[in-house]
Amino acid sequence: MRRVLVTGGGTGIGNAIACAFYENGDKVVIAGRRQNVLERTAKDRMAYKRADITIEADVEALFDTSYDIVIANAGYGVSGRVASLSLQDWKATLDVNLTGTFLTFRQALRVNPTVSRLIAIASTVSLKGNASVPAYTAAKHGVLGLVRSVALDIAKKNGTCNAICPGFTDTNLAENAIKGLMQRFDMTRELATAKVASGNPRGDLISPNEVAATALFLASPGAAAINGHALSVSGGEI
């Protein structure tokens, strides 16, 4: 039985990934900052650990045991063009998305140098620019650089490190974007949803389960030769 850690595993994409690995027969541990959310997701199926992945000591405490598969999913982002973006928001975005992924992968390798799979949940904005979320875009570009570097580092130990790059996904983040458009421009929900999903050639939002299925594939024996890759799950956006 494989041991799997999913950061940010209480909601959204992380929740879907954790449930998919659990249903696959793996032993899953989810991590996050909100204990009530973790408890609700874990129920009697999974273990959970409260942790802030931007705090080095918290991340070290997550790895009181080794894991075969580590999925750095925890993320954070604020909208705002460069001229209006505060330094505090810039730093907070890089701390969660980039530094948090670094701390997670670093500790995973310190505890288990032969870890089988490392997976980062990035975004389509890691593959292109986005004027509305420059801090998030820069952080996710950094995640890809980290993934490609770690991939080279662990290749000879039969490990892989890859990134999944979802388009706009049907999570609370998308819901907040939809509500924001409705309020700012007096749009109907249907029109606001179409606007948010317009980057996807399919015309809809990506399902968290589609991202989870991709994570399962990257963790499978059949993906052993896929290393240092940024896999877009976006319906053709990228």
Q: Is there a single domain that holds both residue 129 and residue 196? A: no
The number of domains in the chain is 2
Amino acid (1-letter code) at residue 33: R
Contact 89, 199 (CB under 8 A): no
Q: Is the pLDDT of residue 20 over 90?
A: yes
pLDDT of 63-110, one tens digit each? 999 999 999 999 988 888 899 999 999 999 999 999 999 999 999 999
Q: What is the CATH number of the domain that holds 40?
A: 3.40.50.720
pLDDT of 183-208, one tens digit each? 888 889 888 888 878 888 998 999 99
Q: Is there a single domain that holds both residue 15 and residue 115? A: yes
User: What range does the domain containing 182 cover?
Assistant: 170-204
Give the pLDDT confidence score for residue 210 in this predicted structure.
97
Q: Is there a single domain that holds both residue 60 and residue 96? A: yes
pLDDT of 106-164, one tens digit each? 999 999 999 999 999 999 999 999 888 899 999 999 999 999 999 999 999 999 999 99
Q: Is there a single domain that holds both residue 21 and residue 50? A: yes
Q: Is there a single domain that holds both residue 9 and residue 117? A: yes
Q: Tell whether 62 is covered by a domain.
A: yes
Q: Is there a single domain that holds both residue 142 and residue 197? A: no
Q: Is there a single domain that holds both residue 180 and residue 74? A: no
Cα 150 to Cα 119, 125, 132, 200: the distances in Å are 11, 20, 29, 30
Q: Is there a single domain that holds both residue 130 and residue 149? A: yes
Q: Tell whether 186 is covered by a domain.
A: yes
Q: Tell whether 238 is covered by a domain.
A: no
